[in-house]
Structure 1
Amino acid sequence: MKELLRTNDPTVIAFVTALLTGEDIACFTMDVHMSIFEGSIGVLPRRMMVRRADLFQARAILRDNNVEFEG
């Protein structure tokens, strides 16, 4: 799995998940339960992961939908 993006905005995570699922790209959100350690204030970012084979297409989908990401 490769990191596609990192954000602490839950709406971006939901939007990207919907975009990728609609294109049959499997994705996985890591660090979801870190709020237990941070006190539920949303400071720590979550990572959206995709398979290495899907990374190029997933990045193209994010660019086409104006989702900012590093990489």
Structure 2
Amino acid sequence: MEEVFRTNDPVKLSYIRHLMAEAGIEVYILDEHTAYIDGRGPMVPIRVVVHEDDADRARLELKDLDQDG
């Protein structure tokens, strides 16, 4: 598994899921539930990971999205 994106934005995360589904890339979301554990919104960066074989293609699909700073 290889990380291809980090975000705290739930809208951006939804869009990433959509992009990966359209590209036929299986995506795994890590820390999504941990990010919201205190109820105030995402405090921990949510990580988007894919299989190593799909990482380059996934990054290409996500190249126009800004990473959260």
TM-score, length-normalised on structure 2?
A: 0.86
CA distance in 1, matches of 2:62, 2:33: 24
Residues 21-36 of structure 1 mapped to structure 2, 5 A cutoff: 21-34=21-34, 35-36=36-37
Q: Which runs of 5+ in 1 are unaligned?
A: none
Cross-structure match for 1:51: 51
Cα shift at 1:5: 0.7
CA distance in 1, matches of 2:25, 2:51: 8
Cα RMSD for the two superposed structures: 1.4
> How many residue pairs align between the two structures?
66
Cross-structure match for 2:39: 40
Q: Which runs of 5+ in 2 are unaligned?
A: none
Runs of 4+ in 1 over 4 A off after TM superposition: none
TM-score, length-normalised on structure 1?
A: 0.84
* Structure 2 residue matching 1:43: 3-state secondary structure: coil
Match of 1:67 among 55, 65, 68: 65
Residues 12-27 of structure 1 mapped to structure 2, 5 A cutoff: 12-27=12-27
More helix as a share of residues: 1
